[in-house]
Amino acid sequence: MAIIILAIETSCDDTCAAIVKAGGRKRPRFDILSDVRSSQVKIHAPYGGVVPNLAARAHLENMGPVLKQCFRNADLQIENGKSQVDLITVTTHPGLIPCLLIGTNVARTLAWIWDKPIVGANHLEGHIYANWVIPVGIKEKLKMQKAKIRFPAMCLIVSGGHTQLVLIKHRGDFKIIGETLDDAAGEAFDKVARLLGLSFPGGPQIERLAQSAQNIAESIQMEPISSRRPSQTGRRQSQKKLLRDSAWKPQLPRPMINSKDYDFSFSGLKTAVLYLVQDLQKSRKAIKLYSSKAFKARLCYEFQQAVIDVLIAKTIKAAKNYKAKTVILGGGVGANQELRRQLQIAVEEKLSNVNCQMSNIKYCTDNAVIIAIAGYFRYLEGKTKTWKNIIARATL
């Protein structure tokens, strides 16, 4: 029998709510009736990162309108204090505690008023379960993946708050085998972007510039001089010349790439970018180079590649050693096209008989649909609670 789930997600800086109709046990099916996400990018952009107390205040302001919109989009009514919702799921951990408290307390209050069961969801399980479903049809419908996830599976979770390798023996059985010792991968993207004067969140900006560096590099190598079009003059030409003349190719470390464990460290990489920029700013010729857009593009390319090299090397090693049959990618950084492309290739080339499963890009970054899915699986395991027993916590 299908149930209607209201899911709430406020673990970081997005105020999200979704209403999902979920049914089935062996092969669950999810119909997304509404998926509302209110971004706080403008609030945090001046700081280059999420400010927890500002985020919590914004969640408080946004929650009412987001819920209203969510019910309206789903075409569900709340009448005489009663709703058609059967289950409430909410992210209770891990995350920023001032933020988690807002979502959790709103969910508890609704569960109390409507007298409905509630499930506390692990945010990271949400990122993992985003891989269990694929959108089908023209409407916003998700269905269970068929035989694409084989166990044991190795999941790389890369987000703004976490970088982890999780061994999944079967659905619901998760074991963290490695994680970052300092900055998360997404955090490193955001901090390096800030260093280069790019806007927040840094991941998509760095990806865009890295792509343009690749385009420039390819056009320098491949294009015979005589074939240049007259329109290709001006700034882009001079940037090309600068790059050709300077032969400037930044080189950044690949931290812990050969360490025996499955842990990561990205804070040194961020510092390496800082030193490189500071060194360049000291010399005149370099200042000219530094002020060019092509410089930033090359640096972004190298930084992104350094992160990708480490993530992929560790994931492949872990998958090999734990005899994984499927490699999974989840979390906001999982939206990075180059990471997705290179991980797919690495799995095909370096692992035999292993498939690579990645969340649909729309469900990589934070949203409440993945919390509804994670909550539904907990519900199937009989792990519902009453509003009195739901608490938020910052850690896993």
Question: Which CB atom, from 152 or from 204, has the smaller least distance to ligand KG4?
Answer: 204
CA dist 5 and 77 (Å) reads 14
CA dist 89 and 85 (Å) reads 11
Binding mask 142-161 for Zn ion (x = CB under 5 A): -----------------x--
**Residue from 28, 94, 98, 201 that binds ligand KG4 (CB under 6 A)?**
201
Q: Tokens 């990489």 correspond to what residue?
A: 269
Q: Which of residues 111-170 bind ligand KG4 (CB under 6 A)?
A: 159-161
CB contact burial 239-277 (16+ within 10 A = b; e otherwise): bbeebeebebebebeebbeeeeebbbbbeebbebbeebb
Q: Is 103 in the site for ligand KG4 (CB under 6 A)?
A: no
Question: Which CB atom, from 127 or from 378, has the smaller least distance to ligand KG4?
Answer: 127
Q: Is 366 in the site for Zn ion (CB under 5 A)?
A: yes
Closest CA to 20 of 385, 358, 388, 363: 363
Residue 25: Cβ within 10 Å count: 6
**Residue from 9, 125, 190, 302 that binds ligand KG4 (CB under 6 A)?**
190
CB 372 within 8 A of CB 18: yes
**Residue from 98, 178, 203, 375 that binds ligand KG4 (CB under 6 A)?**
203
Q: Is 331 in the site for ligand KG4 (CB under 6 A)?
A: yes
Query: Which of Zn ion, ligand KG4, none does 204 bind, CB closer than 5 to 8 A by kind?
Result: ligand KG4
Q: Is 366 in the site for ligand KG4 (CB under 6 A)?
A: yes
Question: Which CB atom, from 9 or from 302, has the smaller least distance to Zn ion?
Answer: 9
Q: How far apart are the first and last CA of the chain?
A: 32
CB 305 within 8 A of CB 337: no
Query: Which of ligand KG4, Zn ion, none does 207 bind, CB closer than 5 to 8 A by kind?
Result: ligand KG4
Closest CA to 23 of 50, 43, 5: 5
Query: Which of Zn ion, ligand KG4, none does 189 bind, CB closer than 5 to 8 A by kind?
Result: ligand KG4
Which residues in this chain contact ligand KG4 in the complex, by CB under 6 A? Answer: 12, 159-161, 186-187, 189-190, 201-204, 207, 331-333, 335-336, 365-366
- Residues at the interface with Zn ion (CB under 5 A): 159, 366
